[in-house]
């Protein structure tokens, strides 16, 4: 019942175009308000977690993500898309690493801004990869335990800033949350409050449950990550069945053996 009540409250604030929630100012289009918690990221921690697209001295592998960024943005701009889902057929293909790097690469562009959202409700890892402890996560927001504005943090490294909505685990069934009206209302609100930003969602694997299938209709496009050695053709075909109505902007083949060019072997199609 609490979640229904919370959904109604979220919907009501959306109807009224509210910019204040639970006493916190909500992020106005594109710019972070002073109220947001800012976290400076540690380059050594990022490197350890293969997040390299921040343009530091180890920026060379990041150029692969910059190329992916350009292609993804061209496609998204052409179609007027804002919401990009990052998923894979099976676990461990590199979704979170790719989502973090792509988001950071986009955030480095002076005229672009990004919100990166952890929608892996079973196993949220974004905050760990970035090296911070969230006060609240997506599930807290869904459950009415925390305001959206207190869950979103502004991460910063050098001059690059990016908003991150970290995840938090749920004691409830994650696929029920994914399919819920509360989630729909939260996504509508994100779409409205962050309309000048590209919003990237780090999702769970597609074939592990129905979490991704539930949320796909709310996404504009999908970036599908496959991994050499762990993704089979049958897995990709199985995913295709669920991707009839949501366009796949690119398929990244991760963990390829072209490591001679750097430790980041991947290609995209």
Nearest-approach distance from CB 91 to ligand ATP, in angstroms: 3
Nearest-approach distance from CB 57 to Mg ion, in angstroms: 26
Q: Does 189 bind Mg ion (CB under 5 A)?
A: no
Q: Which does 108 bind (CB under 5 to 8 A by kind): Mg ion, ligand ATP, none?
A: none
| Interface contacts to ligand ATP, rule CB under 6 A | 50, 88, 91-97, 120, 123, 125, 205, 254-255, 264-266
Q: Which residues are CB-contacts of 196 (< 8 A; sequence separation ≥ 6)?
A: 29, 30, 113
Helices 2-15 and 181-193 pack at an angle, to 10 degrees, of 30
Helix (H, G, I), strand (E, B) or coil at 225: strand
Across 43-119, where does the E strand assignment appear? 83-87, 114-118
Phi-psi region of 10 (alpha: psi -120 to 50; beta: other; left: phi over 0): alpha
Q: Which does 33 bind (CB under 5 to 8 A by kind): ligand ATP, Mg ion, none?
A: none
Token readout for 250 is 């690119």
Which of 249, 253 has the CB closer to ligand ATP?
A: 253
Token readout for 217 is 């209709």
Nearest-approach distance from CB 202 to Mg ion, in angstroms: 6
Q: Which does 88 bind (CB under 5 to 8 A by kind): ligand ATP, Mg ion, none?
A: ligand ATP
Q: Which does 264 bind (CB under 5 to 8 A by kind): Mg ion, ligand ATP, none?
A: ligand ATP
Nearest-approach distance from CB 192 to Mg ion, in angstroms: 27
Helix (H, G, I), strand (E, B) or coil at 209: coil
| CA 73 to each of CA 60, 78, 156, 249, 255: distance values in angstroms, whole numbers, following the listed order | 20, 8, 22, 9, 23
Token readout for 232 is 């089979």
Which has the closest alpha carbon to 152: 17, 26, 60?
A: 26
Token readout for 150 is 């207190």
Which of 118, 193 has the CB closer to ligand ATP?
A: 118
Q: Does 95 bind Mg ion (CB under 5 A)?
A: yes
Q: Which does 199 bind (CB under 5 to 8 A by kind): Mg ion, ligand ATP, none?
A: none
Of 13, 96, 149, 254, which lies in the binding site for Mg ion, with binding defined by CB under 5 A? Answer: 96
> Residue 156 pairs with which residues in a beta bridge?
40, 161
Nearest-approach distance from CB 133 to ligand ATP, in angstroms: 18
Nearest-approach distance from CB 218 to ligand ATP, in angstroms: 20
Which of 32, 253 has the CB closer to ligand ATP?
A: 253
Q: Which does 209 bind (CB under 5 to 8 A by kind): Mg ion, ligand ATP, none?
A: none
Binding site for Mg ion (CB under 5 A): 95-96
């Amino acid at each position: 019942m609490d979640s229904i009540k919370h959904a109604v409250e979220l919907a009501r604030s959306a109807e009224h175009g509210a910019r204040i929630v639970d006493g916190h100012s909500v992020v106005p289009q594109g710019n972070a308000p002073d109220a947001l918690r800012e976290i400076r990221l540690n380059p050594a921690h990022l490197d350890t977690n293969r997040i390299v697209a921040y343009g530091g001295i180890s920026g060379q592998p990041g150029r692969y993500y910059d190329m992916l960024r350009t292609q993804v943005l061209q496609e998204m701009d052409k179609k007027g898309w804002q919401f990009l889902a990052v998923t894979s057929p099976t676990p461990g293909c590199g979704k979170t690493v790719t989502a973090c790097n792509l988001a950071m690469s986009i955030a480095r562009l002076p005229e672009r801004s990004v919100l990166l959202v952890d929608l892996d409700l079973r196993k949220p890892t974004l905050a760990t990869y970035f090296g911070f402890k969230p006060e609240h996560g997506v599930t807290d927001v869904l459950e009415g335990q925390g305001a959206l504005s207190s869950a979103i943090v502004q991460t910063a490294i050098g001059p690059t800033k990016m908003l991150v909505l970290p995840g938090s685990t749920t004691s409830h069934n994650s696929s029920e949350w994914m399919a819920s009206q509360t989630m729909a209302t939260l996504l509508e609100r994100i779409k409205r409050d962050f309309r000048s930003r590209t919003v990237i969602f780090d999702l769970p694997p597609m074939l592990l449950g129905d979490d991704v299938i539930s949320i796909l209709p709310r996404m504009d496009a999908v970036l599908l990550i496959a991994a050499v050695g762990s993704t089979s053709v049958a897995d990709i075909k199985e995913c295709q069945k669920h991707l009839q109505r949501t366009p796949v902007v690119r398929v990244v083949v991760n963990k390829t053996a072209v490591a001679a060019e750097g430790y980041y072997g991947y290609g995209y199609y």
